[in-house]
Structure 1
Amino acid sequence: MSSSPAVAGRKFRLVALATVSLLWCAIGRCLWLMRHPVASGFERPAAWSTVGLVVALGALLSGLVWLVLRQMDRVGRVAEARVALQSLIADHASEAMMLTDRAQRILSVNAAFETITGYPAREVIGNTPTRLSAGHHGLAGHRTVWDHVAEHGYWEGELWDRRKDGTLYPRQMRISAICENGTEVSHYVAVFNDISESKAQAQRLEYLARHDPLTNLPNRLALDAQLAKVIDGSVPGIDRLALLVIDLDNFKTINDSLGHAAGDRLLGELSRRLAVQMGPAQRLFRLGGDEFVVFVEQLDGEEALIELSSRLIRITGEPLEIDGHVLHVTPSIGISLYPEDGRDAQALIRNADTAMYYAKANGRANYKFFTEPMNAAATKRLHLESELWRALAENQLVLHYQPQIDLLAGKVVGVEALVRWRHPQRGLIGPAEFIPVAEECGLILPLGHWVLLTACRQVKAWLDQGIDMGEMAVNISAHQFRQPEFVQSVRRILAETGLPASRLELEITESTIMHGVDEAIVTLGELRGMGIRLAIDDFGTGYSSLAYLRRFPLDRLKIDRSFLADVDTDRDAASLLTSIVLLGRSLGLQLVAEGVERFAQAEFLRTLECERVQGYHFYQPVSAEEVVGFGGFGLFAAAAA
């Protein structure tokens, strides 16, 4: 096992010291003998003493010279090893390294320099780095760098350079000044990396962060940045901008019916259509879901916005074929203006969004400019939404029940459950005011579940008390019906309440079952198989065809109140109602007419032998306690009451 260099060095020094000591002893002995030739008991010639002294001195000097030469050789070999190691480390470093003298002439470079720049060492040594640069930053840029080095002793930053093949690349560099004597700069060392890939990756991440992956359109983050940039450079009163928020009507229905893949293809095609319509000062963004935004950076006048909005509505409304289905989509557009409707990005987006909701509430497939009264209405709606969540949590919702009358027998044969909101301050609020809000804010699912569960519990309670109110009709929203677990949830409610399925009737609108016909048929078939009765609500207001209507496992058609309005005064209205009744009878379905408010309407329905009716002419919706008293009354007694 070899000893370490440090131990070997210590041994060498001890041997050298012992040798020198012996030599000095020998010299001293020779000198003593020369002065005392007989002191030792025998005489030696002086010449021999002189010879011994010379030999000892020569040996001493030779030893000293040998020691000095050995030490110099050792120091040289250590220095060479250190230089070789440093060179090896430099050549294995991933960063490019370049050493220059004080005149900035290149003295040496490492292997990474050759790899990154494409220049071999022999071609760059003796040149200055500026001769190899891209010229991208100009002389002023280089002067700034070296001024900083002169002042601070270093510079660090990003520069562009040109490889030997002519390609430009960015590099992250640090230049340091080296002072050998501690005062004057003797050399400069530069260390740099090629950051092309990292910059490209950063640009890709930046693009992904600011663009929608489905449509490749700029997203909300990009919109906020663009709005802030343009608004900061705009002068209110001189520069005018506009924002158009576009929301597709009933897109969720398409998504639920045909699946998200079909919905994505629809959005992709619509984004291409809309992008084609953009002018030089107009940019299209996608905020997410089915919501798009058009930012108009230079507004010439409201007439241009009206023309643009009309064109976008027309283009969007053109038929689209997705997975063999011909789809028709319409947009609702809200418009806000700068500076009239807001002087920052958030205000413009918020107000355009508010105007879009007004367009949607006023018939859809149209556009609305923002007006200040919309803010108050939007605030009221937001407040209503917040209160509605609290209402469900605090049991402020109640069910009222409106009897259904067998028109020919003159007795109550069923009831329809109608939800009401018993507001702590505003009193009883009807469903027309809060059901649309519940559908938009996602509350309709828990609300619909509560209505169905409460109605079933009430019917079971009546039956347990020996009270027979007939069937309980419950309205089912489109959101509920399209839930994958809807049938299972109904089954669980019946099991929980113990209500016979034959006592429950579910009312579903035409538009609900016509979106995704095949899926609707399966769902209706499962419900019918459980023994539940099924009715089409608001019949005549949708677009169902007889071919489809015959495929649905239905029990009843509920005639919408709009068809009864003028039957006693308008012959055409009477003919239309007669046709609807005959249609239902030809399909083998019972008819229920809702919204009967006058005696003449009831009499006309009686002549048509319409089986069931309901409306204010007979009974208003009342609480569970009050409706029980109607069960045994005859028709005319109830009407008189």
Structure 2
Amino acid sequence: MRVSPTASGRHYGLVAFGALLLVWSLIGHDLWMLAYPFKSNLTLATDRSFRADLPWIGFVLILGGALTLLVWQAWRHTRRAAVEASARLALQRLIVDHASEAMMLTDSAQRILSVNAAFTAITGYAAEEVIGLTPTRLSAGHQGLTGHRNVWDFVAENAYWEGELWDRRKDGTLYPKQLRITAICEDGANISHYVAVFSDVSESKAQAQRLEYLARHDPLTNLPNRLALDAHLLMAIDGAVPGIDRMALLVIDLDNFKTVNDSLGHPAGDRLLAELARRIGAHMDPARRLFRLGGDEFVIFIEQMDSEEAVAALADGLIKLISESCDIDGHILHMTPSIGISLYPEDGRDGQALIRNADTAMYYAKAHGRANYQFFTEPMNAAATKRLHLESELWRALAENQLVLHYQPQVDLLSGKVVGVEALVRWRHPQRGLIGPSEFIPVAEECGLILPLGHWVLLTACRQVRSWLDQGVDMGEMAVNISAHQFRQPEFARSVRAILAETGVCAHRLELEITESTVMHGVDEAIRTLTELKDMGVKLAIDDFGTGYSSLAYLRRFPLDRLKIDRSFLADVDSDPDAASLLTSIVLLGRSLGLQLVAEGVENFAQAEFLRTLECERVQGFHFYQPASAEEVVGFGGFGLFAALPA
């Protein structure tokens, strides 16, 4: 058995002290016999013996003194070692008691010998309550006796165990702990003690669960996100039997949601998304789960589909539900969804295929009027591939100057003179020839190309005005269509000013055409932008008037110059009295607002004559001129037909 250094020092000190006591006893005895002899006749002999023994006695005295000094020093060192050992033990005990991890010492029979303060703090048991007990009795069963025996069997075989297990506190609550058990062998062979060190990992596990939740949920709506959707689809499809189990996936995208962000700000958009998520989520059940993919896109996954008719009914209900008005910060908003639907296993046997095909169907729904749903069909793949290819080519077209402007003259109907031109963008495709804007402008708006494209159109049109003026050709005003996204840019008015300054074109030669829906979203901001443009001297026109939902009260607030009547109102004026009456009302309305009227899409003599009787100021259309290149438009009728404006 191993003996402590302090105990050994004390043992050897006692032996040395006994030896010293024996030496001094012998010296004392000799001195006593010399001082008090027993017989007088021995005195002389004793005197002689004493004198003879004097050197030996001196040596013994010196040796005894040295030995005494050594014993004294040994005693002092032993005493100091004992004090230092006690101090070290006290320090070690202090460190153990202040450790953040709980520590427990047991004997070889697993009876608890000592615990530290952290043990009491974590388990709730005081030291006196557990001394002599076994850890298995304290845990009271959550792991089960078998679990604890497996742990201790592993320790017996490997001299350690480390892992996580659940335990029970004194108050009965369960908690997870990270535990490490180490066996101690004092003689190097047989286990004499066990040391268990553990910590409460409740908080770290809760934090991990919070991080896991955040990783799989959208913070705005608290809905599961794309990561959670992927995992759910994988689990559902792995457990499905093709041909027996049928499932459906719906991708829901809000129509024109970006307008809300642009006009009311992102906080209002976030509140709208949260409200719609709440509405839709209230109609979900265990068989139908709602996810948010991001932005304004949601997904509903139906794990047990009854029939396609039931899915269609759900989509109809969602359109009605989402279309109900929302009061956001005092603004009554109406949103509509476009919904794409894919079915398992017909449209895909894995989650990614289902999402991709439902997304394709959703874009197909948007292309067919929005506010509707479409089931995925295989021809949609070809259309989606074509659109993706067109998007890629469109980026290349802008970079390689494949886009060109054509110009359609606007005619003063009373004088017959050309008073301006409208710039119309065309795409001169290397293989497909000239492509009209109706085919690629929607793609440009969806892929984010509309901003650089719109800037290019405005800059190119103003450069063309400058070029004509330098040639001595006055084409009047240049009308340019402005997209909603372009108009809502905070720096739009400043960019117009910069283009005018760069090209040297006077502001009164530029007319910007903006649709009703553009100015009616975020009216106050639209008025500020229009006023800034008007202060520059730029002419302003509402394009496609009559097709939107503009309010007359707002129209009076907008600093406009013209209303441009949409071509749809001219179609039957020569044969339909109602159409003629409607067109007359629009012209009178514009005149009452103090605005000039421009009719577009005039295609025959009857339409032109009807507009002439209404004294509509300007017209444009195929009846007069078709859009043409800059060189061709100058040759239409010679320069004398153009009404000159101040340079």
TM exceeds 0.5? yes
Structure-2 change in CA distance of 1:408 and 1:61 (3 Å): closer
* Aligned with 2:627 (options 598, 601, 621): 621
Q: CA deviation at 1:582?
A: 2.2
Question: Where does 1:121-160 land on structure 2 (aligned, <5 Å)?
Answer: 121-160=127-166
Distance 1:104 1:527 in 2: 88
For each residue in 1:246-271, what CA deviation from the matched residue of structure 2 results, as whole angstroms up to 9, or x when unmatched?
11111111222222222122111111
Residue 359, structure 1, aligned to residue 365, structure 2 = yes
Which residue number in structure 2 is paired with residue 230 of structure 1? 236
Alpha-carbon distance between aligned partners in 1 of 2:364 and 2:390, rounded to the nearest angstrom:
16
Alpha-carbon shift at residue 506 of structure 1 (Å): 0.5
1:134–1:160 Cα contact (<8 Å) kept: no
CA drift at 1:602: 2.1
Give 1:230-379 correspondences, 5 Å limit: 230-379=236-385
Distance 1:54 1:634, change over 3 A: closer
Cα contact 1:472–1:505 (8 A) shared by 2: yes
Partner of 2:197: 191
Secondary structure of the 1:548 match is helix
189-198 or 548-557: which moved more?
548-557
Distance 2:63 2:535 in 1: 126
Query: In 2, Cα distance between the equivalents of 1:143 and 1:301?
Result: 54
- CA distance in 1 between partners of 2:60 and 2:503 (Å): 128
Which residue number in structure 1 is paired with residue 444 of structure 2?
A: 438
1:503-535 deviation line (CA, Å, top 9, x unaligned): 001001111111122222222122112111111
Cα drift, residue 314 of structure 1: 1.1
Measured after TM superposition, the shift of residue 368 of structure 1 is 0.9
Please report how far the alpha carbon of residue 68 of structure 1 lies from its aligned counterpart in structure 2 after TM superposition. 6.4
The aligned counterpart of 1:547 is 553
* Residue of structure 1 equivalent to 2:494: 488
Aligned to 1:500: 506
Q: Does 1:180 align with 2:189?
A: no
Match of 2:169 among 148, 163, 175: 163
- Cα distance in 2, alignment partners of residues 50 and 548 from structure 1: 133
- TM-score, normalized by length of structure 2? 0.88
1:41-75 per-residue CA deviation (whole Å, 9 max, x = no partner) reads x9755666776677677667767766766665555
Deviation of the 1:184 alpha carbon: 1.9
Aligned to 1:4: none
Q: Which moved more, 1:276-285 or 1:232-241?
A: 232-241
**Which residue number corresponds to residue 483 of structure 2?**
477
Q: Secondary structure at the match of 2:594?
A: coil
Alpha-carbon separation, structure 2, partners of 1:87 and 1:445: 73
- Letter matched to residue 524 of structure 1: L
Q: CA deviation at 1:486?
A: 0.8
**C-alpha distance in 1 between matches for 2:55 and 2:328:** 122
Q: Hey, what does 2:42 align to over in structure 1?
A: none
Query: Residues 411 and 632 of structure 1 are in contact (CA less than 8 Å); yes or no, is this contact kept in structure 2?
Result: no
The answer as to 2:101 corresponding to 1:95 is: yes
CA distance in 1, matches of 2:158, 2:399: 68
Whether the 8 Å contact between 2:360 and 2:384 is mirrored in structure 1 is yes
Deviations 1:231-287 (A, max 9, x none): 222222222221111111111112222222221221111111111111221111112
Task: State whether residues 336 and 370 of structure 1, in contact with CA within 8 Å, keep that contact through their aligned partners in structure 2.
Answer: yes
Q: Which residue of 2 aligns with 1:202?
A: 208
Unaligned runs of 5+ in 1: 1-8, 10-15, 31-41, 636-641
Give the distance between the partners of 1:70 and 1:97, measured in 2 at CA.
36
Q: What letter is aligned with 2:264?
A: L
Partner of 1:447: 453
Over residues 108-136 of structure 1, what are the superposed CA-to-partner deviations in whole Å (9 max), with x where a residue is unaligned? 11111122212111111110011111522
User: 1:309 & 1:211 partners in 2: Cα distance?
Assistant: 24
Superposition deviation, residue 381 in structure 1: 1.0
Task: Name the structure 2 match of 1:611.
Answer: 617
Partner of 1:161, secondary structure, is strand
User: Does the C-alpha gap of structure 1 residues 243 and 134 become closer, same or farther in structure 2, counting only changes over 3 Å?
Assistant: farther
Alpha carbons 1:171, 1:192 under 8 Å: kept: yes
Confirm or deny: 8 A CA contact 1:469 1:631 kept in the other structure: no
**1:13 — aligned with what?**
none
Distance change >3 Å, CA 110–CA 631, structure 1 → 2: farther
SS at match of 1:87: helix
Shift of 1:570: 2.3
Cα shift readout 1:5-52 (whole Å, capped 9, x = no counterpart): xxxx9xxxxxx9xxx9xx9xxx9xx9xxxxxxxxxxx97556667766
The TM-score normalised by the length of structure 1 is: 0.89
**Counterpart code for 1:216:** N
1:512 match: 518
Give the letter aligned to residue 156 of structure 1: E
Task: State how far apart, in whole Å, the 2-side matches of 1:299 and 1:539 are.
Answer: 46
Query: 1:584-638: CA deviations, max 9, x gaps?
Result: 2222222211112223322322232222211122222111111111163788xxx
Residue number among 371, 389, 392 corresponding to 1:386 in the alignment: 392
What one-letter code is carried by the residue in structure 1 that aligns with 2:243?
G
Shift of the 221–50 alpha-carbon distance from structure 1 to 2, 3 Å rule, reads same
The equivalent position to 2:426 in structure 1, one of 397, 417, 420, is 420
Q: Give, in whole Å, the separation in 1 of the partners of 2:175 and 2:149.
A: 20
The AA in structure 2 aligned to 1:224 is: D
1:529 to 2:535 alignment: yes
Aligned partners of 2:81, 2:413: CA distance in 1, in Å? Answer: 121
Q: What residue number does 2:408 align with?
A: 402
| Mapped contact 1:136–1:160 kept (Cα < 8 A) | yes
Distance 1:631 1:515 in 2: 42
Q: Distance in 1 between matches of 2:624 and 2:416?
A: 10
Distance in 1 of aligned mates of 2:483 and 2:532 = 18
- Structure 2: distance between partners of 1:232 and 1:134: 40
Task: Give the whole-Å Cα distance in 1 for the aligned partners of 2:153 and 2:575.
Answer: 97
Partner of residue 568 from structure 1, selected from 569, 574, 582: 574
Equivalent pair of 1:319/1:328 in contact (CA under 8 Å): yes
Moved more, 149-158 or 469-478: 149-158
Instruction: Tell whether the 8 Å contact from 1:510 to 1:539 is kept in structure 2 after alignment.
Output: yes
CA distance in 2, matches of 1:405, 1:66: 128
- Aligned partners of 1:547 and 1:93: how far apart in 2? 75
Conservation of the 8 A alpha-carbon contact between 2:473 and 2:639: no
Name stretches of at least 5 consecutive residues in structure 2 with no aligned partner: 1-8, 10-15, 31-47, 642-647
Deviates most, 497-506 or 299-308: 299-308
Shifted more, 71-80 versus 320-329: the winner is: 71-80
Question: Equivalent pairs: percent with the same residue?
Answer: 81
The Cα offsets for residues 476-506 of structure 1, whole Å up to 9 and x where unpaired, read as 0001111111111111111111101110010
How far, CA to CA, are the matches of 1:409 and 1:65 in structure 2? Answer: 136
> Would you say the 8 A contact 2:337–2:372 is kept in 1?
yes
State the alpha-carbon separation in 1 of the partners of residues 128 and 290 from structure 2. Answer: 55
For residues 240 and 500 of structure 2, the distance between their equivalents in structure 1, rounded to whole angstroms, comes to 63
Measure how far apart 1:574 and its partner are: 2.1
* SS of the residue 2:496 aligns to: helix
Paired residue for 2:604? 598
> Which amino acid in 2 is paired with 1:197?
E
Structure 1 residues 289-336: Cα deviation after superposition (integer angstroms, max 9, x where no partner): 211111112112112211211111111111111222221111111111
In structure 2, C-alpha distance between the alignment counterparts of 1:401 and 1:194, rounded to whole Å: 77
**Any conservation in 2 of the 1:506–1:535 contact (CA below 8 Å)?**
yes
Q: CA contact under 8 A between 1:319 and 1:327: conserved in structure 2?
A: yes
Counterpart in the other structure of 1:464: 470
- The alignment yields a C-alpha RMSD, in angstroms, of 2.8
